[in-house]
Structure 1
Amino acid sequence: MAADREKRGAYAAAAVVALALLTACGGPAEMPDDAAHAPASDSPAAEGPNDDRAVTTPRVAVAAGVLQAAGLGFDLSSEATSAQLEQLREDPADPMAGVVVAPSSCAEPLEQMNWSPTLVADSAEEAALTQFRNEDVAAIGSLEVARIDDREGLDAHYATVRTLLDECSTVTLNLQRPGDDGAVVPTSGPLKHSEPETGYETDSAVFWSLLPNHDQQQQSLVLIREAGDYVAMVSFTGPENISDPEFTQMAESVLEITVLELEAQQER
């Protein structure tokens, strides 16, 4: 990877998940319990792929990264099944529906941020995704690896996020969500994003904060790095403290181990 490669920010689907939770659920930060984002289970992190699915390069690399996360205290994990990955690749419902964005020129790139590395692979079999957590920490980690079969699609995503970082670093969202009594409650607040400083070289690094100082606030850190024919993405999402250096260091550590495993697999 060239040292002078421009660092490119990237949004994960987690950003849209958080917005969807605000507009539809009105509850605190939790990953949705659906086919695309099954919550981390109460089982210890697996030692590697252990079901009847093929042992692929993405699955082996994700298993290595998840083991690193377990060593850092995030030892409860859940691996997405083939069916869940297929659903993740399908066009999701638009969580921006009914949300007014100011300035309006930022609405389109925000709509396009519902992205996952799985989308650049030709099939779900060329991707892997695992979520991990610590039962005492209000944050969920996610690690995803996919083969880069759609180079144009990946570059288009980078370009979209570059627009967000350069032209839409702070936007105002006007949305509605259900209140405690079921009535619709209007909510207005900022969505901010920036490129955090990292000690590990990445192709993408972004921190975003949604509705800070609000009871529905959400934060996320997302790091991406390519390794040969594959791309790896690690993220942490939660209501607070995601900007702390500890989360950046954990994300870098998990990403580095994943990339090293990807490189080793491709050298064989």
Structure 2
Amino acid sequence: ESEERAPSEVSFQMDPCYELSIARASPPLRVQLSPSDMHALRLLAKTLANSMLRLVLGWKRLGRHSEDGALAVLQHVRKVALKKADSSKDVLSRRGFDGCVLALVDIDELERAQQAICSAPLDALFRALDRNHADGIDVREFIIAFSVLCGGSKSVKLAFAFETLDAKREEQLDRQELRRLFRSFLTALSSFSLGMSEQERDEKSVAIEAAAVWASERVFEVAGISDPDRCTFGDLATWYDAEGIRKAPWLELLDLRKWTSEGEKGNEDVDT
């Protein structure tokens, strides 16, 4: 039954509406980002990049597009988020989320209208992660989801996400933790469609969970893992090379430089 419910094909297209779809998820996951959604995403990513240049990269003398620079930014995001969270529960309240965002994104440099535009995808991200409507979100899932807005390659972000969920530093994740990794990224990507109603958001959450379950189970099956309940980052890489690159190409969207359509080639990337 789980095989029937699993997404057998995952695809995305960047023109004209930046559509992400996962076939045969239960229910089907289909996300469309309008031009106004993309404008908000680009403005937020650019503002965040400028903030990180001032807060992290400048004084560390790291290149904006270097791997070391990307990792330093992600580590800073994690440090700030964990500090704002309730450490006993690993929960980030709405107040903690707002404080975290203010510490990471310097929106004061923007005009009031632009501040509102930047706030929209951030608010949507919190609501998407707050699946139980409890006014609180899993801080580690937030860190991973927020990383989508940062610079850096897919590989850097996947490795960072793996490390973030490996709280015991065992260099392994169990099935549930791996599922959280995929779920966090998919939640972020789907949340940027800003016109969704609460009902649509809840429906997307069900589809995201189905897709995350499928992907995590496929990692264990394809990589031929000896331990039935634990996987390494190498196992994740093995799955991606063997199957994920074809069946989960949405992972390419973890790199903001891929967020361009045919008509935008030659223009600035999202994170510049």
TM-score under structure 1 normalisation? Answer: 0.28
Structure having the larger proportion of residues in strand? 1
Structure having the larger proportion of residues in helix? 2
Query: Which structure carries more relative contact order (alpha carbon 8 Å, separation 6+)?
Result: 2
